[in-house]
Amino acid sequence: MPSEETKILLRESEIPQRWYNINSDLPAPLAPPIHPGTGKPLGPEDLAPLFPMELIKQEVSMEPYVEIPDDIMRIYKLWRPSPLYRAHRLEKHLGTPARIYYKNESFSPPGSHKPNTAVAQAYYNKQEGVRRIATETGAGQWGSALSFGCCLFGLECTVYMVKVSYEQKPYRRVLMETWGATVHPSPTTLTKAGQSILEKTPDSPGSLGIAISEAVEDAATHDDTKYSLGSVLNHVLLHQTIVGQEAKAQLKLVDEEPDVIVGCVGGGSNFAGLAFPFVKDKISGKEIDIVACEPESCPTLTRGLYKYDFGDTAQLTPLVKMYTLGHTFVPAPIHAGGLRYHGDAPQLCLLVNQKVIEARAYHQLTTFEAALTFTRIEGFLPAPETAHCIRAGIDEALKCKDTGEEKCILIGYSGHGFFDLGAYERYLADDLVDYEYPQEKIEAALKDLPEIQEPV
């Protein structure tokens, strides 16, 4: 019987004990990452300066499950199992026969799903004697999560924060500092990458690409320091699968199986965390629409090419096969700062390419409209990123109203919007716009894609 309750809760003892590794179930093999210098497939030794060995093993593991260590589980329990909500009020408001559920990851201390991997990454670094972790952050969600994770394991954390965000979002910075992190506005004079940018452009506002280069260089040039990434990589997506496994157990408690799953996609870790445990079922034959929601102004999955590309603007990272808008792509200044990456996680891209996962793009205004409806009906204020799949969920529920179908819709509620009220203010003041991304501009950026022969 579908839930009459508002929140479907698991006990702490019911938290899944293992992460689910989609590598073991992918319908086609993942193309290997390529070394940017040699043009050859990357080996573990190439990653060793940047990541602890256990994470490198997870990155390439084909085992279907990875046990979650007790020390990580203890910290997960600060907010896990996260509640699965039945959106009774929203259903009634829409007049839909659909049943809408949302998996609420906003109650973690940093306010999003990000700490599911930040805590795990901090743990494995601590285990292998690392003293400090360097990372980049754009809008600040990932930097906050890693600061939190490092703080709880007694690691130092250095965050290269895109300068324009550093200046515009001081409270995000302060949150990281409250957890003890050191936050630098990037580009800095602390790295060669930063110095070379500042020599050419002293007033550079920074970019995620530059910040990645700085954090990678910091880690590569300090023996006691490693690097950490908040999305895209296999091990990051792996850690997030706790979300979907919990959601599945929660739905089972109320005799439900999802007909539609919607989640927002920046680099792909939030979406994969919710969706991958259900992708396994879909590959085994279950009928589920699994929909990745991205911004029209950064339409990686819907209008990008499925090709090898660099992860960063400066072409320092390995090349991976993914949908990409080109590493020179410059996103429009939408408020869903976490959804502005030119590429996406290779595992997710393969599943989109194999048509297991469908991708849809949404304009900014319609996502804020959905967010406002959600806030005024369900009460909770979503992040602008989350608003993308709320839009998709509402649209699906309205389709059911037309067709009379009683579908079960699962929304990935990835984070709260308490740090995004500047965006809501502009939306309420009718001061937000949509950004039509011209096809010519995308094609121009895609011209710069490197020509890589996929290894057999």
Q: Sign of the C-alpha dihedral, residues 132, 136, 137, 141?
A: negative
The pair of three-digit structure tokens given for residue 37, joined into one six-digit string: 């210098």
236 contacts: CB under 8 Å, gap ≥ 6: 117, 121, 229, 230, 267, 269, 345
Scan residues 338-377 and list those touching a second copy (CB under 8 A).
372, 375-377
**171 scored as a contact of a second copy (CB under 8 A):** yes
Scan residues 79-108 and list those touching a second copy (CB under 8 A).
85, 88-89, 107
324 or 386: whose CB is closer to a second copy?
Answer: 386
14 or 67: whose CB is closer to a second copy?
Answer: 14
When binding is defined by CB under 8 A, the residue of 49, 109, 205, 450 that contacts a second copy is: 109
**49 scored as a contact of a second copy (CB under 8 A):** no
**419 scored as a contact of a second copy (CB under 8 A):** yes
**418 scored as a contact of a second copy (CB under 8 A):** yes
**74 scored as a contact of a second copy (CB under 8 A):** yes
Task: Report CA-CA distances (Å) from 208 to 135, 214, 392.
Answer: 11, 10, 27
**148 scored as a contact of a second copy (CB under 8 A):** yes
Place of tokens 């799903």: 113
**180 scored as a contact of a second copy (CB under 8 A):** yes
Q: How many CA atoms lie within 13 A of 440 on its CB side?
A: 0
Q: What is the DSSP letter of 398?
A: H
Place of tokens 């090349």: 319
**Considering the complex, what minimum distance in angstroms separates the CB of residue 152 from a second copy?**
6
In this structure, the strands spanning 182-186 and 225-227 are: unpaired
Rounded distance between C-alpha atoms, residue 415 and residue 423, angstroms = 15
The pair of three-digit structure tokens given for residue 202, joined into one six-digit string: 């002293």
When binding is defined by CB under 8 A, the residue of 12, 405, 436, 448 that contacts a second copy is: 12
**Considering the complex, what minimum distance in angstroms separates the CB of residue 168 from a second copy?**
13
Rounded distance between C-alpha atoms, residue 216 and residue 89, angstroms = 46
Amino acid at 100: I
Rounded distance between C-alpha atoms, residue 142 and residue 136, angstroms = 8
When binding is defined by CB under 8 A, the residue of 302, 380, 398, 435 that contacts a second copy is: 380
**Considering the complex, what minimum distance in angstroms separates the CB of residue 326 from a second copy?**
36
**421 scored as a contact of a second copy (CB under 8 A):** yes
Residues in touch with a second copy (CB under 8 A): 5-7, 9, 11-13, 74-75, 77-78, 85, 88-89, 107, 109, 111, 148, 151-152, 170-171, 174-175, 177-180, 372, 375-381, 418-419, 421-422, 424-425, 428
